[in-house]
Amino acid sequence: MSVRGYVNKNSLKRRKVVDTFAKTVFRLCGFISAIMIVVIFVFIVQRGIQVFFPGYQFGNIDFLSFISGFTWRQDQMIYGVFFIFINTLITAFGAALIAFPLSILSALFIAKIVPKRFKIIFTTVIELLAAIPSVVYGVFAAGVIVKWIDSFASALGYTTRGGNSLLAVIILLAIMIYPTITTMAITAIEAVPKETEEGSLALGASKTQTYFKVILGSARSGIVAGLVLGLGRAFGEATAVSMVAGNALVGPTLNPFDITRTLTTTMLSGLKETSGLDYDVRFSVGIVLMITIVITNFIIHRIKDKLGGEKA
């Protein structure tokens, strides 16, 4: 019998149909995943800007007073987001100011300095810190950090609202973004070619000099990516922050012992018993949050490109 006898033409045809069908499904899934970011953006913007246009059923907010306002009072329908935006920048950059140096130092330690057999301890610690859910950080902050701050403030002669304060938010966020930046920095440091390190050592630099001046410089790109990721987490963190922020009605908050209000806490506050305009304005705040993140990313990358002559 010839080979042809064994090949079923119908089966061949069916295989081809199945193959084409499956490939189409795969492609479709890829496209759906990619299009989601656009869908998110378009729908949130659409729902967020409707409160500024006449014809919106629950009344209107004046766009200019929204983006320039220094008061947020749901009960009086006064919605000014500008001070909240400033507060958010202060908390996120404050947290980064604390976490960034610590992250870089720990990353150097873990990637280069610590003896190999202890390395696993430190990487596990960082991984665990990164894996702790934000509500758990929130409980810790509300149970421990606010108490530190309350006693610290009273030692300095200030009073706080039970410790809920700008400083509490900054410390909490610093703890939360520390593992994010550290992980990225470790990856970046470990990716620096051995030759770069050896070259520096051969020129007579000490090991420590090499680590701080040469390796950190070469790993700059990855470290900045870590900073951007950390800032993104700090901007977007919601539940933990709202447990200690205190939701100030006016601002911006500059006193570290005063209560504050960030974009995310605004979106969450009083969510249970709200509807209509007060609900939809959270989408407007969401737009501000997205724009803040995008612009910050852009600016940091520009600064990085300006600072370094050659691209690492």
Per rule CB under 8 A, is residue 202 in the interface with another protein?
Answer: no
- Report the Cα 229 to chain-centroid distance in Å: 5
Residue 288 one-letter amino acid:
V
* Stretch of residues binding another protein (CB under 8 A), selected from 72-80, 126-134, 150-158, 186-194: 126-134
| Cα dihedral sign, 299-304-310-312 | negative
Tell me whether residue 101 or residue 199 sits nearer to another protein (CB atom). Answer: 101
Which of 8, 13, 19, 295 lies at the binding interface for another protein (CB under 8 A)?
Answer: 19
Tell me whether residue 70 or residue 297 sits nearer to another protein (CB atom). Answer: 297
Which of 97, 128, 254, 291 lies at the binding interface for another protein (CB under 8 A)?
Answer: 128
CA distance 111 to 258: 39
Per rule CB under 8 A, is residue 34 in the interface with another protein?
Answer: yes
Per rule CB under 8 A, is residue 114 in the interface with another protein?
Answer: yes
For 39-79, give the DSSP string: HHHHHHHHHHHGGGSTT-TT----HHHHHH-SBEETTTTEE
Per rule CB under 8 A, is residue 16 in the interface with another protein?
Answer: yes
Question: Cβ(219)–Cβ(191) under 8 Å?
Answer: yes
Tell me whether residue 90 or residue 176 sits nearer to another protein (CB atom). Answer: 176
Per rule CB under 8 A, is residue 38 in the interface with another protein?
Answer: yes
Tell me whether residue 218 or residue 262 sits nearer to another protein (CB atom). Answer: 262
- Cβ at position 229, least distance to another protein in Å: 7
Per rule CB under 8 A, is residue 97 in the interface with another protein?
Answer: no
Token digits for 33?
């995943």
Per rule CB under 8 A, is residue 264 in the interface with another protein?
Answer: yes
**Owner of token pair 């070469």:** 218
* Stretch of residues binding another protein (CB under 8 A), selected from 54-62, 64-72, 153-161, 203-211: 203-211
Per rule CB under 8 A, is residue 43 in the interface with another protein?
Answer: yes
- Cβ at position 82, least distance to another protein in Å: 20
Token digits for 69?
């306002």
CA distance 227 to 103: 10
Tell me whether residue 150 or residue 237 sits nearer to another protein (CB atom). Answer: 237
Residue 252 one-letter amino acid:
P
Tell me whether residue 9 or residue 272 sits nearer to another protein (CB atom). Answer: 272
* Stretch of residues binding another protein (CB under 8 A), selected from 41-49, 62-70, 87-95, 216-224: 41-49
Q: What angle do CA 292, 176, 127 make, to 5 degrees?
A: 125
* Stretch of residues binding another protein (CB under 8 A), selected from 189-197, 228-236, 249-257, 298-306: 228-236
Which of 1, 131, 155, 307 lies at the binding interface for another protein (CB under 8 A)?
Answer: 131
DSSP state of 256: T
Per rule CB under 8 A, is residue 276 in the interface with another protein?
Answer: no
Question: Cβ(250)–Cβ(83) under 8 Å?
Answer: yes
Per rule CB under 8 A, is residue 22 in the interface with another protein?
Answer: yes
Measured in degrees and rounded to the nearest 5, phi and psi for residue 78 equal: -100, 115
Per rule CB under 8 A, is residue 122 in the interface with another protein?
Answer: yes
Q: Which residues pair with 72 in a beta bridge?
A: 79
Per rule CB under 8 A, is residue 291 in the interface with another protein?
Answer: no
CA distance 180 to 177: 5
Per rule CB under 8 A, is residue 85 in the interface with another protein?
Answer: no
CA distance 48 to 139: 31
CA distance 199 to 295: 38
- Cβ at position 157, least distance to another protein in Å: 27
